[in-house]
Each structure stands twice: as structure tokens, then as C-alpha cells.
Structure 1
């Protein structure tokens, strides 16, 4: 059997000597996080999605929130020190991050953007995030995600 190609996220975790678990699932195109959790058997509470936003200043921010929650743009703006933030349009995602919708990992984007992991992740030893490709998830310790993304925790959900 052929060895699976590593994504940028996996290479960065390897280089940083961070342990992680790889989960794959069959998927031809974007599915939401709830379907990903169902397909992999990952606990919904520990499964997180990545949202890329842009502040009024033009700076982009990576926000990582539980899949069953909605981003609170006002809270997120306050946490990152912006007047407002809005979600980046899906058409901009690939050029901006190197990732497609449904495969956007907070680790290994084309450029290192300020990253905020919702503080709900602090209660877990490990959480599930996109691995950098549709059909691939990674199980990683929240502290390790913050270490490699140089991110921080913040309350950013409703």
C-alpha cells in the first residue's frame, strides 16, 4: 500500500517533534465538521474547525472553534485587538492560505497569521483539527497547536 502524502501541517508537526494521530475519511468535496466527526468517530465536543477572518486593519486572523459552535465576530475582534473582523470569502481561501474549504488547517498556511484557539479547547488533552486536506483530520494537543502556530487561547464563540 502506498504511503500517504504528508500535508504542510503534518510536516510542521513532525519538524517540531509533536505527536499527532491521523484520521482519514472518504470525501470527494467539502463536508462540514459535524459530518467529519461522524465519518471519523471523533467526539463532536473535541472537534474544531478553522475560520480565516480579516480585521478592519486588513490583517488576517485564524480562529479555531468547536464544530458545533458559531464564531462571535465581536468577541473575536476584541480578542485580536481590531474594531471589527469579518470572515474571508471562500474564493480567497486557497490563494491566502494554501488550503481549500474543508481542508483548512490552522497549521502550515502559506503565511503565519495570528491564531486564536477557542478557550474551550483548554479542557481537553487532545482535539481534532483539519489536517490540511479534505478527508484528513489530525488529533493534536491544544498546547502543541498553539506552540507550532504561535497562537493563544481566547473566548471567540457565542
Structure 2
């Protein structure tokens, strides 16, 4: 089991795991997950790390959208946000790119979930490795991570 699955179990929330065969040639890990699991892309969320005024933040947006860095900076009470380096993201979370989960990260970081998640009964996100997604209610994700909702996504 991954640290993400262990965190969900320890948190006592309802969740379901969904596994698929990951294609190493896939151009987008998140879109691949949506396609392989026959899900609308707006229900599958990617986990991104960004630096807001020197503080690393976790941001989650639907896989068919981009993170609006200005919106993240506003939500986090900062002035400027830039995407975190991939190697730093892996080091801070303990996960590889394409498998970064918001759950069970090595270092707990502030988490921001795009407000569109609130429209769904459940959402899907990486369970800590490529080819494994975890499904849970947005409220449960926020409770487990101490995260907050904010409008973060753009086309």
C-alpha cells in the first residue's frame, strides 16, 4: 500500500481505489487516468506544487485545466506564485511525478483544492503511484489534509 492509501485508511474516510495499466508513453498522466477509467476529466484532479512568496503550496485542479498561478497566490495570501521544480516536488512529497498524491506526503504542506471539486459527490486523484487513483468525497479530502477550496483552474 502507498502512504496515500494508508493515510486514507488511518483517517477513517470512505474511499475506493481504481487501478489501471499505466502507459509510460502517455503525454498526460491525469488525462490518461480519466481515459483509462472512463471518467469525465473534470472529476479527476492533478496534484501540483508551487512556490508562493517562498512557501511551497499544494494545488489541485481538474486534469483538463491549468493552474492559475495568480489565483493560487491570492488564495494563499501571497503576491507571486511559480511552479515548483519537479525534483523538489518529488523530494517534498515522497512521490514521483505523475504519482503525486495530496495524501501521505512526506511533508505536510498547505493544500488548495479548486472550487469546482465541490460540484462532485466524489473526485479522483493519484493514490501515490502512476496507474492507481483514489476516489473520495471532496470534504473528506479537505478534512484529511486541512485543505481549503479556492477558484484555481483556468482553461
TM-score (normalised: structure 1): 0.92
- Deviation string, structure 1 residues 23-42 (Cα, Å, up to 9, x no partner): 11112537421111111222
Instruction: Tell me the distance in 1 between the aligned counterparts of 2:42 and 2:83.
Output: 23
Corresponding residue of 2:93:
97
User: CA contact under 8 A between 1:102 and 1:134: conserved in structure 2?
Assistant: yes
**RMSD of equivalent CA atoms:** 1.2
Instruction: Tell me the distance in 2 between the aligned counterparts of 1:129 and 1:30.
Output: 20
Corresponding residue of 2:16:
21
How many equivalent pairs are there?
Answer: 152
SS in structure 1 of the partner of residue 135 of structure 2: strand
Q: Which residues of structure 2 form unaligned runs of 5+? A: none
- Deviation string, structure 1 residues 90-135 (Cα, Å, up to 9, x no partner): 1222211101110001111111100000000001110000101111
Q: Which residues of structure 1 form unaligned runs of 5+? A: 1-5
Match of 2:102 among 89, 95, 106: 106
User: Runs ≥4 in structure 1, deviation > 3 angstroms?
Assistant: 28-31
Corresponding residue of 2:38:
41
Match of 2:4 among 3, 9, 12: 9
**1:110-149 maps to which residues of 2 (within 5 A)?**
110-149=106-145
TM-score (normalised: structure 2): 0.93
